[in-house]
Amino acid sequence: MTSNRSILLGTFLFSVLIGCSQNGSVPQAMSGSGSSEMFALADESQREAPQAEEKAAVSDPVARMIIRNGELAWKTADRTATGTRIRAAAQRSGGYLSGEHETRSEHRIDNYLTVRVPADRFEPLLADVSDGVDHFDTRQISATDVTDQFVDLDARLRVKKDTETRYRELLSEARNVDEVLKVERELSKLRGDIEAMEGKWNLLKNQAAMSTLTIRYYEITSVSNHFTDRFADSLRLGWLGIVEFVIAIAVMWPMLVIGLCVALVVRRIISASTARSAVQTESGVA
């Protein structure tokens, strides 16, 4: 009985001593560290976090992220039918047209289409679009592995977000205005870094999830159509020239009237001067 009491008393005294030492050390650390210790703790967590992220990345492998792009160009005999076929192929593959434009020259018409399609449907789309094409002027397919870049960016983004959380915790523990301002400045810089990294992260993810196929097909215009078009353009330009000439005359008619009047006056003056000279000459001879 006595031994049991001794054991209980010893345990109680040991617990009291441990509690006193802990209660005495925590306030001392908080009172003596100040804002420098707060930032030191946050910086230490930021330095330690990348190691943890690297271990997590090694132990938890992710699927490979491949950015697939392609470019095709060929000559076609019917632009309308070719465009319809490409649009149908894009729709069957679950894709969509993200860009389209047309250019015309004297002898050919070029059409440009940009198709975005899920990465796992890129090969079927490529085969579908290529079906029936005998010769490609351009056929280029590229595959870029961005897995390492994505994993590295994802790890650094996690570190930044974790550090932001720790700084917000420190902000709630700030004891004066100076500490609040310092923490808010750090939070502002962190938020800017996080938004920039999130933009790159989303861009990589979108590029890997959706492949891009750029297509150019062109049609050579016939000589007869070319002559007809040029003849029609010449008639149109000739008519426009006549219209412009009439408009120019209508605009300049006041100046023409004034010029005509001046010419008549000058002519009369010259005629009168010539007549006087003739009279004087005849008088001298007589």
Q: pLDDT tens digit string along 119-137?
A: 999 999 999 999 989 999 9
Asked, for residue 130, whether it belongs to a domain, the answer is: yes
216 and 198 both lie in a single domain:
no
Q: pLDDT tens digit string along 17-46?
A: 444 344 433 333 333 344 555 555 555 555
110 and 152 both lie in a single domain:
no
- Please state the domain count of the chain: 2
173 and 196 both lie in a single domain:
yes
Asked, for residue 135, whether it belongs to a domain, the answer is: yes
Q: Would you state the torsion angle of the CA atoms of residues 78, 83, 88, 89, taken in this order, to the nearest 10 degrees?
A: 90
Asked, for residue 270, whether it belongs to a domain, the answer is: no
pTM of the model: 0.54
State yes or no: pLDDT of 57 exceeds 50.
Answer: no
Determine how many CB atoms are found less than 10 A away from the CB of residue 122: 23
State yes or no: pLDDT of 61 exceeds 70.
Answer: no
Asked, for residue 280, whether it belongs to a domain, the answer is: no
Asked, for residue 195, whether it belongs to a domain, the answer is: yes
104 and 216 both lie in a single domain:
yes
75 and 196 both lie in a single domain:
no
Asked, for residue 186, whether it belongs to a domain, the answer is: yes
User: Which residue range(s) make up the domain with 177?
Assistant: 148-205
pLDDT confidence of residue 263? 87
State yes or no: pLDDT of 14 exceeds 60.
Answer: no
Asked, for residue 161, whether it belongs to a domain, the answer is: yes
Asked, for residue 201, whether it belongs to a domain, the answer is: yes
